[in-house]
Structure 1
Amino acid sequence: MSTMLPIKHVTKHRLRSKLFISSILNPCSFHAACATLASSPSSPSTPSTSNSFLASQNDVAASFKTWFATRQLELDPLVHRIYEILAASGDNDDCSAALSYLSLPLSERFVLRVLRHGAACSEILPCLKFFDWAGRQPNFHHTRATFVAIFHILSGANLKSLVLDFLDAYRRRILHHRVRFHDILVVGYAIAGKPHSALQAFARMRFIGLDLDSFAYHVLLDSLVEKNYLNAFDIVVRQIRARGFENHLTNIIVIKHLCKERRLEEAEDFLNDLKCRGEELKGPEVSFLVGALCESSRFERAVELVKQFGSSGLVPLDHAYGVWVRSLVQGGRVDEALEFFSQKKDFEGYCPTTIRYNVLLYRLLRENRLGQVYDLLVDMNESCIPPNEVTMNAVLCFFCKAGMTNVAWELYNSSFEFGLSLNHMASKYLILTLCWDGGVMEAYNVLRSLVDKSYFPDLRTFCTLASALCRECKIDEMKELMYLAVGRNILPPASIYNKFISALCQAGRVEDGYLVHGELKTVAARSSYVKMIKGCVKMGRGDIAARLLVEMKGNGHKLTHPLCSAVICTLLEMDNSRGRFFNLLEMLTRYENSAWTYNFFLRAAKHARKAELGREVFELMHRNGVRPNLSSRILMLQCYLNRGRISDALNFFNDVKRQGLARTKIYNALAVGLCKANRVDISCEFFFSMFSVGLNPSLECYELVVQKLCSLRRYHEAIHIISANEKMGRPISSFIGNVLLHHSLISPELYYTCVNLRGVEEGVFYGNSTLSLLIGAFSGCLQVSRNIADLERLIEKCFPPDIYTYNLLLKELCKSDMDKARLLFARMCHKGCEPNWWTYDIMVRGFSNHGKKNEAKRWLEEMCEKGFYRFNRRNQ
């Protein structure tokens, strides 16, 4: 056998794993590939090695299809046509007519042939349809053999309830049967795992003088062992022996019974007695005892037993070897199982069946030992052992776990060619892998195709698929998935409901999200509430948003100012806005009657520019015994200022000041608000009055006052404020520095003002006059180095440059030298400044103005790729 592929190559390097997997069916290429890759196991994959050695995923899938084709049953055209009709016909009448048209030679042998084919391909429903159709044909009556066949098929598919329903209906019929009526009942109940009912039917038989034959007795006896009917077991064994029906099946069932009772010594004595009497042993007798010893953790005794009977040569031990391997695997001793498997195969010529390989494959898959899974698959192919349906499912799981999703998907799409029906494990891993690999719709389609075959995923797989569908906003598919779950009495977790609600809101279907929210039995997640509320606000449904806001508060979730303000502002745009406004205020204060709650409504009144409404809320606080806090007073002041009611704002401020409650934040709010209302003189008056009462204005206050003064060309006062700011030890902010640079580019007046204020002669600068030097350079009044790097360093001495600063520099450079502009753009990006719309617009215009149309077009395309468009409004 070839050297095992290191596990890292299977699990970590997707391309390399393709090479090894595709070579399973080509041992020569496999050995060559192993030798080549083994020579440099740690070297990274390069394009040259990829081209030389790596097979495409299509080749991998094709090689496995070739291997899968070796297990195909011999094609029976007539039986194949029957199953085509059974699969295609939805209506019973159409199906019956199509089958009758074939003029089938109905007989026990032919019916069993059809049923065996269906069982081999797991075509359970078509088997049942054919059995029912055959039983209604005038020239054919089902025999015990056909009944037993369909019972085994249904029981094997965990459809024993159908067997029981059939037997109950069969027992109530008063018809003349051409088969042994009571035999069918006994055997049917036994196969369906109902030995009590089987014994009752057997008792009725004996009462009317009828008896079972050898086959029925043994089916009944095995059923009694399975369900631990000990007393009845002893009686039936005596009946079998008394009638001369005892054979090797009896011995096997007796040993099985003793093993289930953990009477292992008796079982061993019984087995030795059979050997001494020269009884024919088939192998399962030893297998049951070996398995029972392993289950009791008596592995050493099990080994001795296998060796003892193996050396006698009287017992075919293939089955016992298989049970030994399976028992080791179930006991968690996988390495011992692999060693035993290899030894018996290499030194005793033991030829394991596909089933034995499958036991090892699935255990190794569960332990993620993918390298050894691969080795076993190679061994199966080299030993010419065709895969069965279980093996093919294991291969599908292997590719999913190895990350080769495309190969797994290709094999799944070709599953009909090989009669492959996915089991639960393969279905789970295929769905999970597709979800993780971005194939959400493919994963959903896999599930949808398997639902008709009674498959539904476990909770983890369901949640993974549901989360992926929500993430991709596949709303219709998600609705159907939830419907399928609820229809099977599966309650999705609250987290999935929350994700579904979020997806509905994201898709603009807020009302559907609200309906789903109504079905949720547990408290919805805060994120679900937020998304539903934002969706309602966007749709203008403030009434629903308000209802959700109250429910959110009632469920203990924290409300935020932006969210509440958005809801309240939406209510103010609806009819009966005042009534809705105060109704929401009343409901929220029931949960928390504090200034925090009232501030939500003061903030909303400020944004809506409804000063009177804000005043009513403020007065209501006093009436309800709630003391306004600092934020409440600031919000009330801003309500007046935003509405332009300056006198009311000043009166309110004076009232607060008389109460001794005027703090820095109130002064800042008043100064900033007056600036925004274009009352700069009054704003400056309050700005400077702060210093007289020992308060220090905020940076925002400084910046806004300076900006307004500069916009009115009152540079003298602006420089005076900047100087005061510097004397307090505050550096010049980027905002103020940019305002000064912007006005320097407009006019030299700012520079002259700066020179006069600092008492410095024009053209002469001292160390403390760097800002004057910078302003003079930008206004063109001074001849300084025009090197951009020098200007950058000069700016950095005055204030930290930001994107606005670089945009100003770019704008100036683009007038003369686009090459230098391009270099500045690259340096700006290197320093971490993210280009904005204005940056790209400057570059596009610069190249256009210099006649470089192609370069301008390239920059325009890059601009659009970044999500900026030239008709966007500049945000400076």
Structure 2
Amino acid sequence: MHKNSIFITKTMLTQPYRCITNITRLFFSQSFSSSSIIPYAQNPSIIPRKFDNPSPVSHEIASSFSDWFKTSKNPNFDRIFDVLNSKNGEDLTKLDLGLNLSQTFVLDMIRYKSDDVLSCLKFFDWAGRQSNFRHSRATYVAIFKILSKANLNIMMQDLLDSFNRDKLFHKTRFNDILVIGYALAGKLDVALQLYGKMRFNGLDLDSVEYHVFLNALVDGGYFDAVKVLLGQLRALGHENKTTSTIVMKSMCKQGQFVEAEAYMRDLMVRGEVVTGYLLSILVDGLCKERRFLRAGKLLHEFEERGGVPLSPAYGVWIRELLNVGKFDEALRFFHEKKSLEQYIPSIYRYNSLISKLIRQNRLPEVCDLLMDMKESKIKPDNVTMNAVLCFFCKAGMMDVALELYKESAELGLTPNSLVFNYIINTLCGDGNVSEAYTTMKTSLCHGYFPGKKTFSILADSLCREGNLDKMKDLIMFSLDQKFMPPKSMYEKFIRALCRADRFEDGYMILGELNRLNETVSDTTYSYLITGFTKTGRADLTIRLLIEMQDKGHKPERRLFKSVIRHVCEMEDDKYFLQLLELQLSRSGHDVHIYNYFIYGAGHGGKPELGREVFKMMQKYGIFPNLASDVVMLQCLLKSDRIDDAMEFFVDISRRRSLGRKLYSSMVIGLCRAGKADFAVAILRDAKKNGQNVSMQCYEDLVKLYCSENNFDAAIRTINDLEKSGRKISSFIGNSLLFYSLHTGDVYRAWRRSRDVLKETPATSTLGRVIAAFSDQIMMDSKVEELEEIISKCFPIDLYTYNMLLRKLSMDHIDKACQLFNRMRQKGIEPNRWTYDILCHGLYKHGRFAAGQQCAAEMQRRGYFL
């Protein structure tokens, strides 16, 4: 290893606190901590980094760790497995590797790749088919143990069945292998039956097989059978230190801890060999029963007594402390034993410590442990590499993490899902979405599907940056690999496609979900339906609405009405009638369905269809409710069928008493049709009958009068409103401010009204505001006072502030700026018109720098002048 890389690595590992706080700052000018991972779109200051060309220092660190990982590799073994996993896997014999197929060689190969079950099985199968080799009991037991550890009992059962069919008993001890195989596969009843047949035929297991079988029976809880086999084993003279270990394990599994301690002490008194593993089993059993105090005292007792190797028990003690979250105590114990007793944990214990500490974000301690492993010359494995990658991701040293990640395939190591999650999350947070996308696809190829949160983060980033094609490829790729992304991700993608007006693609993704029998939410259907409504695809709109209902969703009234309205706007009325029939067949002759279709006919400008639906309702004996009369009335008014509306209104009055809703609907409809005189007549009739119409009636009437420049009538309407005991609404007040800015006729109309109508305090205050906006009086008051005066007339909203801002920006730009700041202080968020008014005011008064600053802020918020 290069001296410089050793120095860099040692510096990083021997000074862990500087590693976390200073090294990344020194090595990477744009480093970041885990707390600063903010999506790029939400934090414009983040500039996506490129990791294609890491700095020399990063390269040195990565090379240092890469060299360490290589110490655990065997190039010849790797080459054999590479060929096995390639298309020409059968042609191993052509390799010039000097292969000598023996039991020892096969066992070494299987153990070397024990974490890669498929590769082990390929080699085991290939070796068994060579003419110069036959598998032994040892090789079968080795592969069974690997399959058992991976919980691949079904695969083990297939292997046993295959072995049973071949009946290779003339080459191997057929019955022994079946007994051990079924025992390790968890088929203990079958194993016991086969063992009984062996004994009946005068055959028996050897010492190793007895111990493997006994251990499987203990794990399965067959304690009665254990006693019988234990007696047989001792009778045959097979008892050894492994037997003691299995007996101890059996006692602990049965909760016989007092007997277990006595058994171990008895062994020591008799001068038997007491292994460290024996003590570790007892410590493990006590800890699992949460008897930590007793386990600790036992460890202390044997430390003082001596004569028993304590390393295995130390490893169990550290593991159990970690499992209950006592990280500081576990680390303290580790360092104490290492310094006083030169205790060196196994690779598994180091990995456990490091993994737990990484999850707790205790990165300095991780640095210490990694240094300790390297100095102790412990060969790392796949778990260690994954932990190192996670460490560099969390420390913000992504250059190093990515270089190691890219070398992982060359090193024969496979990143796990946690590593992929860390890398993808960090890359997305750093704005490097393309790199994260590539890593995600790689993880799928490796057989790992990222967690839902990670997939969502990447999908959000792709959708936010508009990379919808990549998002589409990612989803289709994951489906090809038989991975099912979270349903929420599909829905998010469909909505993003709809926002980008790619409704056809969204519909295709929905089809994929339907094929997989997945049901999307009603919101997703709403997005698609609304989208196809815009594009004029009535056929798809109807199909999606029906499908939505078939999936158990109830469309919102707004959506339902929108679909009907869209269908009604089409030239061919058959779609409208087909949809009506479908809905009636689904829900029966529900009056609400009829009302929706009448409403849609009105908004679609087809009152004759509305009439037809209304008559159909009566034909089937459905009595129109109040809502039916209201929507039918609105249908006629929206289509400017004023005479028909008046006639229908009279017809309603014969069937039911006219209430607030009907009067209000009639007045609003007449105002929007520009029939002010008719609207006033209906309004008076409502008052005469004691009905208080809605505020919208007065608002629409004032709006109509103002649009016709009939400000005298508008002022009279406002006075009538106040006489009825109601206050001026924001809409009415804002309308008067708007027209006062453009013409002095509003002020003159108000002055004339003072001669005719009795002035109230409210109308007097309103007159002052109108006068100020009409330039009839000087606006010398402070901004706060102007706000207070207006608020006495009507409630101030954002539109009011915009009108006031516009007035002030004409002649009092400083006051306009004060008002803008006051709005922000009050938590009122400016809209596009707010910025537009202020920018134009600043430019008009020659304040170009301030105007440009305002325009820049406006653009950052997504608004344009």
TM (norm. structure 1) is: 0.75
Structure 1 residue 278 corresponds to structure 2 residue 271: yes
Structure 1 residue 381 corresponds to structure 2 residue 376: no
- Measured after TM superposition, the shift of residue 645 of structure 1 is 1.7
| Distance (Å, rounded) in 1 between the aligned partners of 2:292 and 2:802 | 80
| Alignment counterpart, residue 117 of structure 1, candidates 112, 121, 141 | 112
Instruction: Judge conservation of contact 2:580–2:597 (CA < 8 Å) in 1.
Output: no
Structure 1 residue 105 corresponds to structure 2 residue 99: yes
User: Paired residue for 1:633?
Assistant: 629
Structure 1 residue 643 corresponds to structure 2 residue 639: yes
| Distance (Å, rounded) in 2 between the aligned partners of 1:827 and 1:302 | 68
User: Paired residue for 2:507?
Assistant: 511
One-letter amino acid of the structure 2 residue matched with residue 715 of structure 1: F
| Alignment counterpart, residue 530 of structure 2, candidates 527, 534, 556 | 534
- Measured after TM superposition, the shift of residue 598 of structure 1 is 2.6
What pairs up with 1:276-315 in 2 under 5 angstroms? 276-295=269-288, 306=299, 309-315=302-308
One-letter amino acid of the structure 2 residue matched with residue 127 of structure 1: C
Instruction: Judge conservation of contact 2:101–2:127 (CA < 8 Å) in 1.
Output: no
| Distance (Å, rounded) in 2 between the aligned partners of 1:190 and 1:207 | 19
| Distance (Å, rounded) in 2 between the aligned partners of 1:661 and 1:396 | 78
Paired residue total: 812
- Measured after TM superposition, the shift of residue 25 of structure 1 is 3.5
Structure 1 residue 661 corresponds to structure 2 residue 661: no
Secondary structure in structure 1 of the residue aligned to 2:646:
helix
Instruction: Judge conservation of contact 2:12–2:19 (CA < 8 Å) in 1.
Output: yes
User: Paired residue for 1:598?
Assistant: 594
Instruction: Judge conservation of contact 1:435–1:464 (CA < 8 Å) in 2.
Output: no
| Distance (Å, rounded) in 2 between the aligned partners of 1:296 and 1:864 | 64
| Distance (Å, rounded) in 1 between the aligned partners of 2:446 and 2:243 | 37
Instruction: Judge conservation of contact 1:389–1:420 (CA < 8 Å) in 2.
Output: yes
Instruction: Report the CA distance shift for 1:192/1:223 in structure 2 as closer, same or farther (over 3 A).
Output: same
Structure 1 residue 566 corresponds to structure 2 residue 562: yes
User: Paired residue for 2:77?
Assistant: 79
| Distance (Å, rounded) in 2 between the aligned partners of 1:345 and 1:173 | 53
| Distance (Å, rounded) in 1 between the aligned partners of 2:655 and 2:134 | 105
Instruction: Report the CA distance shift for 1:226/1:534 in structure 2 as closer, same or farther (over 3 A).
Output: same
| CA deviation vs aligned residue, 1:472-512 (integer Å, no higher than 9, x gap) | 4734534555676688xxxx998788667766766524534
Instruction: Report the CA distance shift for 1:849/1:611 in structure 2 as closer, same or farther (over 3 A).
Output: same
User: Paired residue for 1:680?
Assistant: 676
Structure 1 residue 95 corresponds to structure 2 residue 89: yes
Which structure exhibits the higher relative contact order, with contacts defined as CA atoms closer than 8 Å and separated by 6 or more residues?
Answer: 2
| Distance (Å, rounded) in 2 between the aligned partners of 1:514 and 1:801 | 45
- Measured after TM superposition, the shift of residue 349 of structure 1 is 4.9
User: Paired residue for 2:612?
Assistant: 616
What stretches of structure 1 of length at least 5 have no aligned partner?
A: 1-20, 35-44, 47-55, 871-876
User: Paired residue for 1:15?
Assistant: none
| Alignment counterpart, residue 26 of structure 1, candidates 7, 12, 15 | 15
Instruction: Report the CA distance shift for 1:727/1:494 in structure 2 as closer, same or farther (over 3 A).
Output: same
- Measured after TM superposition, the shift of residue 604 of structure 1 is 0.9
| Alignment counterpart, residue 477 of structure 1, candidates 467, 474, 478 | 474
| Distance (Å, rounded) in 2 between the aligned partners of 1:688 and 1:599 | 28
Secondary structure in structure 1 of the residue aligned to 2:271:
coil
One-letter amino acid of the structure 1 residue matched with residue 474 of structure 2: E
| Distance (Å, rounded) in 1 between the aligned partners of 2:270 and 2:105 | 41
Instruction: Judge conservation of contact 1:501–1:516 (CA < 8 Å) in 2.
Output: no
What is the alpha-carbon root mean square deviation over aligned residues?
5.2
Secondary structure in structure 1 of the residue aligned to 2:113:
helix
- Measured after TM superposition, the shift of residue 462 of structure 1 is 4.4
| Distance (Å, rounded) in 1 between the aligned partners of 2:587 and 2:516 | 22
| Distance (Å, rounded) in 2 between the aligned partners of 1:527 and 1:236 | 65
One-letter amino acid of the structure 1 residue matched with residue 368 of structure 2: V
User: Paired residue for 1:784?
Assistant: 778
Instruction: Report the CA distance shift for 1:376/1:825 in structure 2 as closer, same or farther (over 3 A).
Output: closer
| CA deviation vs aligned residue, 1:69-101 (integer Å, no higher than 9, x gap) | 5465355443343344445x2x1xx23446613
One-letter amino acid of the structure 1 residue matched with residue 658 of structure 2: A
| Distance (Å, rounded) in 1 between the aligned partners of 2:299 and 2:810 | 94
| Distance (Å, rounded) in 2 between the aligned partners of 1:304 and 1:97 | 58
User: Paired residue for 1:5?
Assistant: none
Instruction: Judge conservation of contact 2:542–2:579 (CA < 8 Å) in 1.
Output: no
Instruction: Judge conservation of contact 2:252–2:260 (CA < 8 Å) in 1.
Output: yes
| Distance (Å, rounded) in 1 between the aligned partners of 2:248 and 2:796 | 90
One-letter amino acid of the structure 2 residue matched with residue 708 of structure 1: L
| Distance (Å, rounded) in 1 between the aligned partners of 2:324 and 2:238 | 37
| CA deviation vs aligned residue, 1:169-216 (integer Å, no higher than 9, x gap) | 334337797666666555555554556666676677778887655444
Instruction: Report the CA distance shift for 1:783/1:71 in structure 2 as closer, same or farther (over 3 A).
Output: closer
- Measured after TM superposition, the shift of residue 414 of structure 1 is 5.5
Instruction: Judge conservation of contact 2:14–2:371 (CA < 8 Å) in 1.
Output: yes
Instruction: Judge conservation of contact 1:690–1:696 (CA < 8 Å) in 2.
Output: yes
Instruction: Judge conservation of contact 2:180–2:213 (CA < 8 Å) in 1.
Output: yes
User: Paired residue for 1:53?
Assistant: none
- Measured after TM superposition, the shift of residue 33 of structure 1 is 8.9
User: Paired residue for 2:700?
Assistant: 704
Instruction: Judge conservation of contact 1:470–1:478 (CA < 8 Å) in 2.
Output: no
- Measured after TM superposition, the shift of residue 609 of structure 1 is 1.6
- Measured after TM superposition, the shift of residue 642 of structure 1 is 1.8
Instruction: Judge conservation of contact 1:541–1:570 (CA < 8 Å) in 2.
Output: no
What pairs up with 1:761-772 in 2 under 5 angstroms? 769-772=764-767
| Distance (Å, rounded) in 2 between the aligned partners of 1:531 and 1:834 | 27
Instruction: Report the CA distance shift for 1:721/1:192 in structure 2 as closer, same or farther (over 3 A).
Output: closer
| Distance (Å, rounded) in 2 between the aligned partners of 1:229 and 1:776 | 99
Instruction: Report the CA distance shift for 1:774/1:424 in structure 2 as closer, same or farther (over 3 A).
Output: closer
Secondary structure in structure 2 of the residue aligned to 1:95:
coil
- Measured after TM superposition, the shift of residue 546 of structure 1 is 4.2
| Distance (Å, rounded) in 1 between the aligned partners of 2:732 and 2:22 | 68
Instruction: Report the CA distance shift for 1:741/1:86 in structure 2 as closer, same or farther (over 3 A).
Output: same
One-letter amino acid of the structure 1 residue matched with residue 710 of structure 2: R
Instruction: Judge conservation of contact 1:463–1:496 (CA < 8 Å) in 2.
Output: no
Secondary structure in structure 1 of the residue aligned to 2:668:
helix
| Distance (Å, rounded) in 1 between the aligned partners of 2:762 and 2:146 | 98
User: Paired residue for 2:712?
Assistant: 716
Instruction: Report the CA distance shift for 1:213/1:537 in structure 2 as closer, same or farther (over 3 A).
Output: same
Instruction: Judge conservation of contact 1:572–1:581 (CA < 8 Å) in 2.
Output: no
- Measured after TM superposition, the shift of residue 339 of structure 1 is 6.6
Instruction: Report the CA distance shift for 1:483/1:599 in structure 2 as closer, same or farther (over 3 A).
Output: farther
Instruction: Report the CA distance shift for 1:783/1:28 in structure 2 as closer, same or farther (over 3 A).
Output: closer
One-letter amino acid of the structure 1 residue matched with residue 598 of structure 2: L
- Measured after TM superposition, the shift of residue 607 of structure 1 is 0.4
- Measured after TM superposition, the shift of residue 739 of structure 1 is 3.9
One-letter amino acid of the structure 2 residue matched with residue 82 of structure 1: I
| Distance (Å, rounded) in 1 between the aligned partners of 2:582 and 2:417 | 55
| Alignment counterpart, residue 162 of structure 2, candidates 169, 179, 182 | 169
| Alignment counterpart, residue 316 of structure 1, candidates 297, 309, 315 | 309
Secondary structure in structure 1 of the residue aligned to 2:308:
coil
Moved more, 665-674 or 61-70: 61-70
| CA deviation vs aligned residue, 1:750-803 (integer Å, no higher than 9, x gap) | 44444344239xxxx9997554555455445x4635678476666555555555
Instruction: Report the CA distance shift for 1:327/1:644 in structure 2 as closer, same or farther (over 3 A).
Output: closer
- Measured after TM superposition, the shift of residue 155 of structure 1 is 3.6
User: Paired residue for 1:41?
Assistant: none
| Distance (Å, rounded) in 2 between the aligned partners of 1:479 and 1:739 | 54
TM (norm. structure 2) is: 0.76
| Distance (Å, rounded) in 2 between the aligned partners of 1:818 and 1:300 | 77
| CA deviation vs aligned residue, 1:359-413 (integer Å, no higher than 9, x gap) | 5666777xx7655x86476356347454554455556677889999998777655
